[in-house]
A and B are shown apart, each in its own frame.
Chain A
Amino acid sequence: MTVHNLYLFDRNGVCLHYSEWHRKKQAGISKEEEFKLMYGMLFSMRSFVGKMSPVDMKDGFLAFQTSKYKLHYYETPSGLKVVMNTDLGVGNIRDVLHQIYSNIYVEFVVKNPLCSMSEPIQSELFRAKLDGFIRGLPFFSARAG
């Protein structure tokens, strides 16, 4: 099992943070382009599943997978979006994404008055904590690919 990469978007679609671990193939487009495409897809996916839902939706969409990877999605009521790509062996990691939000983003960005909340995160401390947290996850494996 392994973690490929992670995106953090704010409510307006700005990519606040991006980092990757085991990503062997790049998309072949600029990162800005990639962030836009990713956010656009999430946005459409969100409104699509909402419209198709036979009953009132609670959490929206949680994850999708292809034959090679799985995309996990978590959105807070305030519109912050956490997106993590992993391989197929990873189950439901909603609580992990919630922890990234509550223990790392809120603690090191929201509670840091010098961090703007609508621009990409510059804080080294945040990066270090996030990296440490991801590397410490039980399904993060250094040699897998």
Chain B
Amino acid sequence: MSRQAGRGTESKKMSSELFTLTYGALVTQLCKDYENDEDVNKQLDKMGYNIGVRLIEDFLARSNVGRCHDFRETADVIAKVAFKMYLGITPSITNWSPAGDEFSLILENNPLVDFVELPDNHSSLIYSNLLCGVLRGALEMVQMAVDVKFVQDTLKGDGVTEIRMKFVKRIEDNLPAGEE
């Protein structure tokens, strides 16, 4: 994407196949670079985190949503605005915990896995783990520490893809060190 054309608030169209295949190439390369699946999962999460901390700024600039008042509102914004904006899908929100601090995002179809079939020797690979990192990184920048993980994955034979998000704590901002 060229920098000059990237400005403005309208979302840019790009081929979803190109996107899906690029992500596939990335995961494939990671599988070559790392011995076991756990390391690949960790690496994907880390990359996602680094994407998330920057993506949140783009999101805030483009969507004009303000600070959320509770976790339910956050869930709504993630599913209806953020996923729609960046992946073109709207996951449904279900399985709220009684305390209201945990919920699931159900992805009917995950655009990242359009052409993917997990080979037998990568049974513990969490293919779309990047998403978890993105969510964690983005929310951390708006003062929310969350736990994000996949609990169901169509790649592993489940009917749907389910991402579980758990609210851990609010990150309070502090004065810079050395000042009172």
Measuring CB to CB, which residues of chain A are less than 8 angstroms from any residue of chain B? 11-14, 36, 39-40, 43, 56, 58-59, 76-80, 98, 101-103, 105-107, 110-111, 117
- Of the candidate stretches B16-24, B160-168, B171-179, the one touching chain A is B171-179
B142 on the interface (CB 8 Å rule)? yes
B57 touches A80 (CB 8 A): yes
A58 to B54, CA, bound (A): 24
Q: Is the CB of B176 within 8 A of A111?
A: no
Q: B60's closest neighbor in chain A, by CB?
A: A76
Q: Are B175 and A106 in contact (CB-based, < 8 A)?
A: no
Q: Is A117 in contact with B53, judged by CB distance below 8 angstroms?
A: yes
Q: Which of B53-72 contact A (CB under 8 A)?
A: 53-54, 56-58, 60-62, 64-67, 69
Query: How many pairs of A and B residues are in contact by the CB < 8 Å rule?
Result: 54
List B residues at the A interface (Cβ < 8 Å).
3, 6-7, 9, 53-54, 56-58, 60-62, 64-67, 69, 141-143, 173, 175-176, 179
- Report the minimal beta-carbon distance from B13 to chain A, rounded to whole angstroms: 18
Check if B175 sits within 8 Å of A40, measured CB to CB.
Answer: yes
Most buried by A among B3, B57, B141, B173: B57
Q: Smallest CB–CB gap between B140 and chain A, Å?
A: 10
**A78-B60 Cα distance, complex, nearest whole Å:** 8
Q: Which 6 A-B pairs have the closest CB atoms?
A: A102-B61, A13-B176, A106-B61, A110-B57, A77-B67, A78-B141
Cα–Cα distance between A87 and B141 once the two chains are bound (Å): 33
Residues of chain A with a CB closer than 8 A to B65's CB: 77
Given contacts A77-B142, A117-B54, contact A111 B6 (CB under 8 A): yes
Instruction: Tell me the complex Cα distance, A78–B65, Å.
Output: 12
Complex contacts, B7 vs chain A, CB 8 Å: 103, 107
Of B173, B175, B176, which one neighbours A79 at CB under 8 angstroms?
Answer: B173
Contacts of A79 in B (CB 8 A): 141, 143, 173
**Which chain A residues border B9 with CB–CB below 8 Å?**
102
- A56–B68 Cα distance when bound, in Å, is 12
Instruction: List residues of chain B with CB within 8 A of the CB of A43.
Output: 175
Q: For residue B141, which residues in chain A have a CB less than 8 angstroms away from its CB?
A: 11, 78-79
Q: What are the residues of chain B within 8 A of A98 when measuring CB–CB?
A: 64
A13 near B175 (CB under 8 angstroms)?
A: yes
| Cross-chain contact of A106 among B57, B64, B67 (Cβ < 8 A) | B57
Tell me, rounded to whole Å, the shortest Cβ–Cβ distance linking A47 to chain B: 10
Cα-based distance from A103 to B69 in the complex (angstroms): 26
CA distance A43 to B174 in the complex (A): 9
> CB distance A78 to B58 under 8 Å?
no
Q: A107-B6, A111-B6 are in contact. Are A39 and B58 (CB under 8 A)?
A: no
Shortest Cβ gap from B162 to chain A (Å) = 27
